[in-house]
Structure 1
Amino acid sequence: MLFIGAGVLFTAALALCGQLLSWIPALQLLGPLTWGILLAALYRQLLGYPESLRPGIQFTSKNLLRLAIMLCGLKLDMGTLFSEGPGMLLRGAAVVLLGITLTWYAAKWLKAESSLSLLLGIGTGVCGAAAIAAAAPILNAKEEDTALGAGMIAFVGTLFAVVYTLAQPLLPLDSLEYGIWAGLSLHELAQVALASAPAGEEALTAGLMAKLGRVFLLLPLCFVLLAWMRREGGNETAKRPAFPWFLLGFAAFSLAGSLAPSGQPLIPEAVKDFAGAAASFLLAMAMAGFGLQIHLRSLTRAWRPLAAMLLSSVLLSIITFWMV
């Protein structure tokens, strides 16, 4: 337990440093997740992997990561999503399918490494680093690939959000259409907020609604991936993934956060906000744990998957612009 606690505290320290760096105006575009991964990767290259802390680091990268994903469910208002956004769900499903398919075929064209490319496709289509973290254990992905994928998608998605913000006044879209476009095409919820908020409250609301439709689809997508992996594994039970019980927790928290008996929410907004902040920090801790797995040599093989994701992200932006 002592070694677990020390490792957890170590990842928390890296996540906190990443959070502090993300508050500096000149550095805030990268966000706490990216900074956490970068700091952890830098530590690994300079000082090596802290073997004595391995139990706690692995506990963070697996158990606390699952807790973070479950807590994310509290911010997903399923009632609003179903009552106001059935069309958003359909378009969100199309975006998820397109994001994965475009990235996969771009990766094949570029002869990119398939495992990392699939993770990037899932992150592009659904909800960035959180989707990669949720899908990685189902796909038996290496921790190194999970870290690289999360870092890449957080960085690229932030760049896209900045480009969207600069281009918004020049686009032939009203605030509602622009918000929907941002929600359908950007990678993470924070990036949607970053890009749509400058266009006004209507754009922000529309963007978050469109994005939540894609976040909701993380749950069924993971079950599809689970069934696919078990079928691919055949009789090789060692390669067959365990059932992702934490996704049921995600669904339960989503339901609990959406219930409002007698017009009053079952869970107060203050609790949801606290849970959301806790989930973000736990996710940053998990990303720091993944970042410690990164070797410099792994970056030399990562440019092809990165190029595939960039290509698919550009195509997705163009297609969703037309969809709006």
Structure 2
Amino acid sequence: MNTLEQKAIVNINPEQQKKPTKQLKVSLIYGVAFTFIIAVLGFLMAKLPWFDHVGPLACAILLALVYRQFFGYPEKLRAGIQFSSKILLRFAIILYGLKLNMVVIFSDGLPLLLRGMGTIIFSIVVLMVIAKWLKADLNLSLLLSIGTGICGAAAIAAISPIIKAKDDDTAMAVGIIALVGTIFSIIYTLIYPLLPISPTEYGAWVGISLHEIAHVALAAAPAGQDALTHALLAKLVRVFLLIPVCFIFLFWMKRKGKLNGEAKLEFPWFLIGFVIMSFVGSYILGQKIPISNKTMSDVSVFTSFILTMSMTGLGLNINLKELRTKSIRPLIAIVITSILLSFVTFFSL
């Protein structure tokens, strides 16, 4: 190699090395900014009539889905979008632990613990049996069964990395459960005046059978404060059970991986963060460290916003053609399961 060639290599290589790094930084910054903008639009859209029942997560997924179909996947922003859909998703799950008040659960919610376990087992078993009978996509159905049994989108987001679910399956599951949960919560409010039960019994039924915390609040609020308190307590018990359920699936996936000769499963460290934050919120904030309800409300909104940004990233992976063919049977399965769950939990009051 002559001197001229060596000089050329010295002059070119640094630029070639810097270029990918600069592109990665640009992709990361603009990609995160893109999911931020869609999340803001999702929150604004959720203030509109009807969409206010669906919630910002589903609205953001819908906006991302529409963008994907008209403009395609923004490849230049992939790094930032993946950062939102993976890193921010785990961060949101950690913050979600602040919603879990273990003091209330351990003092007042223990009688509801068995009923919460029953709801989770019933939802997973029944939905998966129906899905198998309908020949529905089993991975998507499993996500829906866990979301139905525990706490909707948050449970789906927490379990997805553990069972190695595809991003588009996760996004579809969140969208489906938001739609079904909204419909059921509206039906609950319509039939409540016709039911021969007390407000507290109605609240317990709502909390033990509906999908998301937002759905529980929507359905229970018209019955009064007592009903809402019992509903949220019953729901918090199911959120608490997210922790053992995740570890059960972690053990199952590890065993499945060993049997199939797969690589070692990465431990979901964000679950440890979820547990730590639940203890912080239950035993430190508000007791040893004074904190106002407004501050906690702001943290809750921030958590929802971060989760909405991550759902935007997941929603961009949805192919409309696949959505039509892949989601119909799991949708039927979750509707049937939700109807059965409503009847079973009602007659067990």
TM-score, length basis structure 2:
0.90
Residue identity in the other structure for 2:344: I
Secondary structure at 1:301 match in 2: helix
Q: Distance in 2 between matches of 1:32 and 1:158?
A: 12
Q: Which residue does 1:4 correspond to in 2? A: 28
Candidates 301, 308, 313, aligned match of 2:326? 301
Q: CA shift at 1:241, angstroms?
A: 2.8
TM-score, length basis structure 1:
0.96
Q: Quick check: 1:257–1:272 contact (8 Å CA) kept in 2? A: no
> Mind listing any 5+ residue stretches in structure 2 that lack a counterpart?
1-24
Residue identity in the other structure for 1:305: P
Correspondence 1:78-97 to 2 at 5 A: 78-97=102-121
Q: Quick check: 1:21–1:35 contact (8 Å CA) kept in 2? A: yes
Q: CA shift at 1:274, angstroms?
A: 1.9
Q: Which residue does 2:76 correspond to in 1? A: 52
**2:24 counterpart of 1:24:** no
Candidates 305, 315, 323, aligned match of 1:291? 315
**2:246 counterpart of 1:215:** no
Q: CA shift at 1:238, angstroms?
A: 4.7
Q: Distance in 1 between matches of 2:42 and 2:123?
A: 28
* Root mean square deviation, CA, Å: 1.5
**2:201 counterpart of 1:154:** no
Candidates 91, 95, 98, aligned match of 1:67? 91
Correspondence 1:1-324 to 2 at 5 A: 1-234=25-258, 238-260=262-284, 263-264=287-288, 267-299=291-323, 300-324=325-349
1:283-316 Cα deviation digits (max 9, x unpaired): 1111111110000121212111111111111111
Q: CA shift at 1:271, angstroms?
A: 3.3
Residue identity in the other structure for 1:309: I
Q: CA shift at 1:237, angstroms?
A: 6.3
1:77-105 Cα deviation digits (max 9, x unpaired): 10111001101111111111111111111
Per mean C-alpha deviation after superposition, the further-off stretch among 267-276 and 197-206 is: 267-276
Q: Quick check: 1:95–1:184 contact (8 Å CA) kept in 2? A: yes
Residue identity in the other structure for 2:220: S
Moved over 3 A (4+): 235-240, 260-271
Distance 1:31 1:170, change over 3 A: same
Q: Distance in 1 between matches of 2:189 and 2:171?
A: 27
Find the structure with the greater CA-based Rg: 2
Q: Which residue does 2:20 correspond to in 1? A: none
Residue identity in the other structure for 2:36: A
Q: Distance in 1 between matches of 2:110 and 2:187?
A: 29
Number of residue pairs the alignment of both structures matches:
324
Q: Percent of aligned positions with the same letter in both sequences?
A: 51
1:50-86 Cα deviation digits (max 9, x unpaired): 0011001110011101111111111211011100110
1:194-234 Cα deviation digits (max 9, x unpaired): 00001000000000000000000111100000000000011
1:240-280 Cα deviation digits (max 9, x unpaired): 43111001100000001111599555654343222211110
Secondary structure at 2:52 match in 1: coil
